[in-house]
Structure formats: structure tokens, C-alpha cells
């Protein structure tokens, strides 16, 4: 450690402060590939182009489904879900670190007070003969220390912690999006089970009538015991399918209870069959996905944080300059503590520079650069995964829409076939096995059609999640 003279140090500090340099690379958002359009976009009327800043409030993205109970559950999830609460506290911690780092830009001032009773050894070398052996020492010290951020190390640290806090805010938004999306998907699955249950109940009514038909024909000597047994078996099997749906529905209800922060015991969702086609979901162009997905924003902010840490590591190559001052009052008699003669002080700068560290600083810079490159790779991978998520759901909507059209035709044909075979059976022109076979085909086709209603609406909800819901990177805090 070497100390410079006051005039020389003052001149150096003035020049450096005027320069206001900040070492390390300035941040640029990494380039990522973005196709001009989605492969399946425009192949179906259920989605259309839009822009993130189109003025529409899409924060409550689930409201597009116009279900009051879903709206209520989503609000409860946002306020009571414990994973969202944990993510919120993680962001608060990151924000507190920003405040802590910003404090390093300012001087540190400390003050204290002490009173001690001292005794000096009679055999102490060079002890003055007139010095009392016992005395009081009353002291009130004041200390001021400031290390100017000449090389930008502190500012780079603030830049890094700010970006990290923004990444935590994006993580919070992504947690909220994921859990509220999971809630919507599970809710629609419950409604889909209700549609299946409605179908099975109507089928039970039809099968009960078919059983009565076989019993009446048996009484009239036109049917065998086998016909009655087959009709009875089909009725009970369908009743068992209806009961089995209750297991799935209860499990979905319990999952929703956890998502909204409620005990599973006693939690119920009113039965209401799912109906209708999925609503229109605006997609925009792929490049806008970078602004909409909170997971992408979080990954990008981590690149920015890592980039700033390179500057922090490089600032260690430059001298440490500290401005310090110490003072206070001291006296052996408390009544004279604040008299002019009790004042003491000292002030001056100090400069220190490491001239050999066996490559430690070089290793720290290389580590920071490698960390940034790792985060860049993870960011680009996140972007590619996001494009895949959107394409998956767009393809699902297109394929399921086509499948629904075909399945609807199959249901109509199965219904007609059942009607004809039942008529033939009544006239004695067909065995009951023919009726049974057609009824089974009809029920399978109807259940497939009912399942497609749920799958299509679930796919639309998952598309909204893949598009980031109603989120935008403009919502990231500035800190």
C-alpha cells in the first residue's frame, strides 16, 4: 500500500471523477432467430393477428371464456396461492439487494461514545513521572469513509442486481401465468367431465329403454334371455363409467383447491357441462413473443446481469481510492469533553493497487465471461422453446378442429345406424347383438366428440399461456 500526497491525489480524483468511466462491456440484447410468421397461423378462424401494445387489457386472459366461476377462482389463485407468494418474496429480496448495492455509492458515517477507566503500569518504559497511574478517558469519535466509484464497479454491480431483480419479477409473472394457466386447464377438464357425465346420463336413459324393450319382447316370446342379459350388462357397464368419472372429477377439484390456497376437504365446483367452440386467440407475429413471455424476459435479464458482472470483475484491475476522515472529542475529565481543546481530527485519501495476485483477477473475469455466454445460450434455448410451445398449440387447435368435424359426422352416422338396427330388431329382422354393437359405437363416438370439446378449449388456454397471457415486458419494474 502506498500513500500519495494530498495535492497529487486531489488532482487525480478530479480527473477521474470528471471522466466517470465504467469498465466492462455495455449490454446488448443477444440476437435470436425469429420466423416471420407461425406455421399454422391463419389456417383456422379461431385465432388472428394482434400486437402486444394494441390497447386491449389482456391481463385477465381467462375472461375470454366468459365463466364467472373461473374468473373468481383465478382471482383467488393470484392472491392466495403459496407458490405465487413465495415468488413475490423472492422478488422482494432481489429488490432489497438493489437498494443495498446503491448504498455503496455514498459515504459511510459512524459515530460512537465510550468512557473507560485506565491504569498505566508504574514500570512502563518512558512513562512520564507526572502522569497519573489511574485516569478516565471519555471519547466521542466520528468517522467518515467514502470509496468513489471511479471505475464503475459499484455501478456495474447495481446494474447486475437491477437486472437480477427484473429477472425475479419476470419469474413471479411466469409463476403466476403457469399456475393460473394450470387452474384454467384443470377447470376446463372438470367441465369436460361434466359434459361426459351429462352424455352418460342421457345414454343410461336410452339403455334403460332398450332394456325394457328386450324385456317386453321376451314376455311376448319374441326375444331370448340372452337379449335381456346383454341389455342389462350394457346398462350396468355404462353406469360404472359414470361412477368412474367421479374419481377424476374429485381429483381435479382437489388440485384446484390447492391452486387457490384452500383445503381440499369440502371444496366443490358446481357441475356445469362444457359447451361451445374455443374463443378467438390473437397470436401476433413471432418476434412479439420475446416481449410477451415472462420466462423469456427472465432469461434475457439474467444475461444482462451476467454481462454487468464482467465489469465488476474488470474493475478489480484498477487502484482502490478511499477518502477518509476521522475526528471527535476526547478528554480525561467529562466536564471538559466538549471544550475546544478536546477536539481531534485527521483526514486524507489513500490509494492501493494489487501488483501480483497469481492470476486471480484474470480468472474472475474469465469466469464472468463464461457465465454470460452460458446465460446467452439458455436465453436462446428459451426463445426456441417458446416458439415450439406456440406452434404446438396452434397445430393442436388446427388438428382438433378438423377432428371435431369428422367426429361429428361419425356421431351422426352412428346415431342413424343405431336407429335403423333398433327398428330392424323390433320387426324381428335383426338380432339384438346388432343393436348392441351399434349402441356401443354410438356411445364411443359421442364420448370422443365430448372429449374434443374439452381438448379444444384446453388447447386454446394453453395457447394463451404459450403467448404469455396478457403479460408484456413493459411491466418489468425499473428499480
Helices 360-426 and 432-466, axial angle in degrees (round to 10): 150
Task: Spell out the residues 6+ positions from residue 328 whose beta carbon is closer than 8 angstroms to its own.
Answer: 139, 140, 141, 142, 343, 344, 345
Beta-strand pair 47-48/281-282: parallel
Render each residue's pLDDT in the chain as its tens digit; 479 residues. 344 444 554 555 554 454 468 899 999 999 998 888 888 765 444 433 333 333 334 579 999 999 999 999 999 999 999 999 999 999 999 999 999 999 999 999 999 999 999 888 887 787 776 677 788 989 999 999 999 999 999 999 999 999 999 999 999 999 999 999 999 999 999 999 999 999 999 999 999 999 999 999 999 999 899 999 999 999 999 999 999 999 999 999 999 999 999 999 999 999 999 998 999 888 888 988 999 999 999 999 999 999 999 999 999 999 999 999 999 999 888 888 888 888 999 998 999 999 999 999 999 999 999 999 999 999 999 999 999 999 999 999 999 999 999 999 999 999 999 999 999 999 999 999 999 999 999 999 999 999 999 999 999 999 999 999 988 888 888 86
pLDDT at 42: 55
What's the pLDDT at 11? Answer: 53
Rg of the chain over CA atoms, in angstroms?
A: 38
Joined together, the cell numbers standing for residue 341 give: 481543546
> So what's the pLDDT on residue 14?
53
Q: Which residue has the cell 471523477?
A: 17
Strands (E), 369-443: none
pLDDT at 450: 97
Residue 128 is predicted with a pLDDT of 73
Cβ atoms of residues 347 and 326 within 8 Å: yes
Would you kindly state where each structural domain of the chain is located, as residue ranges? 21-106+151-318+360-475
pLDDT value at residue 248: 96
Widest CA span in the chain: 139
Measured at the alpha carbon of residue 92, what is the angle toward residues 86 and 95, in degrees to the nearest 5? 145
Grid cell digits, residue 186: 384443470
- Quick one: 21-106+151-318+360-475 is in which CATH superfamily? Outer membrane efflux proteins (OEP) (1.20.1600.10)
- Taking CA atoms, 310 is separated from 26, 172, 258, in Å, by 10, 26, 43
Question: Are residues 142 and 328 in contact, defined by beta-carbon separation less than 8 angstroms?
Answer: yes
Reduced to 3 states (helix: H, G, I; strand: E, B; else coil), residue 383 is helix
How do beta strands 108-111 and 134-146 pair? antiparallel
In whole angstroms, give the CA distance from residue 354 to residue 361: 10
To 10 degrees, the CA torsion angle through 429, 434, 438, 441? -170
Amino acid at each position: 500500500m502506498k500513500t500519495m500526497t494530498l495535492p497529487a491525489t486531489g488532482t487525480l480524483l478530479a480527473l477521474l471523477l470528471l471522466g466517470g468511466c465504467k469498465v466492462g462491456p455495455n449490454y446488448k440484447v443477444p440476437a435470436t432467430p425469429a420466423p416471420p410468421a407461425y406455421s399454422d397461423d391463419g389456417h383456422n378462424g379461431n385465432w388472428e393477428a394482434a400486437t402486444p401494445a394494441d390497447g386491449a387489457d389482456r391481463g385477465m386472459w381467462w375472461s375470454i371464456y366468459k365463466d364467472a366461476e373461473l374468473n373468481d377462482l383465478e382471482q383467488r389463485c393470484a392472491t392466495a396461492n403459496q407458490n405465487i407468494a413465495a415468488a413475490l418474496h423472492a422478488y422482494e429480496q432481489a429488490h432489497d439487494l438493489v437498494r443495498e448495492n446503491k448504498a455503496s455509492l455514498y459515504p459511510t458515517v459512524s459515530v460512537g461514545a465510550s468512557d473507560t477507566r485506565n491504569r498505566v503500569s508504574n514500570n512502563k518504559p518512558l512513562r512520564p513521572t507526572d502522569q497519573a497511574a489511574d485516569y478516565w478517558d471519555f471519547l466521542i469519535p466520528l468517522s467518515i469513509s467514502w470509496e468513489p466509484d471511479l471505475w464503475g464497479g459499484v455501478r456495474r454491480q447495481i446494474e447486475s442486481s437491477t437486472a437480477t431483480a427484473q429477472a425475479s419479477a419476470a419469474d413471479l409473472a411466469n409463476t403466476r401465468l403457469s399456475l393460473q394457466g394450470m387452474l384454467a386447464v384443470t377447470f376446463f377438464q372438470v367441465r369436460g367431465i361434466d359434459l361426459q357425465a351429462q352424455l352418460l346420463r342421457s345414454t343410461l336413459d336410452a339403455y334403460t329403454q332398450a332394456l325394457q324393450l328386450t324385456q317386453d319382447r321376451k314376455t311376448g316370446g319374441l326375444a331370448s334371455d340372452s337379449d335381456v342379459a346383454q341389455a342389462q350388462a350394457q346398462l350396468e357397464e355404462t353406469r360404472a363409467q359414470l361412477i368412474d368419472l367421479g374419481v377424476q372429477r374429485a381429483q381435479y377439484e382437489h388440485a384446484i383447491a390447492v391452486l387457490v390456497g384452500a383445503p381440499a376437504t369440502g371444496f366443490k365446483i358446481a357441475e356445469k357441462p362444457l359447451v361451445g367452440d374455443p374463443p378467438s386467440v390473437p397470436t401476433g407475429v413471432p418476434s412479439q413473443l420475446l416481449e410477451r413471455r415472462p420466462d423469456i424476459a427472465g432469461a434475457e435479464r439474467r444475461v444482462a446481469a451476467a454481462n454487468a458482472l464482467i465489469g465488476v470483475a474488470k474493475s478489480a484491475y484498477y487502484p482502490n481510492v478511499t477518502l477518509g476522515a476521522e475526528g471527535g472529542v476526547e478528554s480525561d475529565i467529562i466536564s471538559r469533553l466538549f471544550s475546544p481543546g478536546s477536539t481531534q481530527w485527521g483526514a486524507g485519501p489513500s490509494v492501493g493497487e494489487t501488483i501480483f495476485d497469481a492470476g486471480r483477477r484474470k480468472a474472475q473475469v474469465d469466469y464472468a465471461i463464461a457465465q454470460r455466454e452460458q446465460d446467452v445460450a439458455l436465453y436462446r434455448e428459451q426463445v426456441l422453446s417458446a416458439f415450439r410451445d406456440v406452434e404446438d398449440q396452434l397445430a393442436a387447435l388446427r388438428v382438433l378442429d378438423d377432428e371435431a368435424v369428422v367426429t361429428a359426422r361419425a356421431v351422426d352416422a352412428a346415431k342413424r345406424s343405431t336407429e335403423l338396427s333398433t327398428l330392424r330388431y323390433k320387426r324381428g329382422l335383426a338380432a339384438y347383438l346388432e343393436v348392441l354393437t351399434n349402441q356401443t359405437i354410438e356411445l364411443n363416438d359421442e364420448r370422443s366428440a365430448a372429449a374434443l370439446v374439452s381438448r379444444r378449449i384446453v388447447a386454446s388456454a394453453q395457447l394463451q399461456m404459450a403467448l404469455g397471457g396478457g403479460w408484456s415486458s413493459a411491466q418489468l419494474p425499473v428499480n
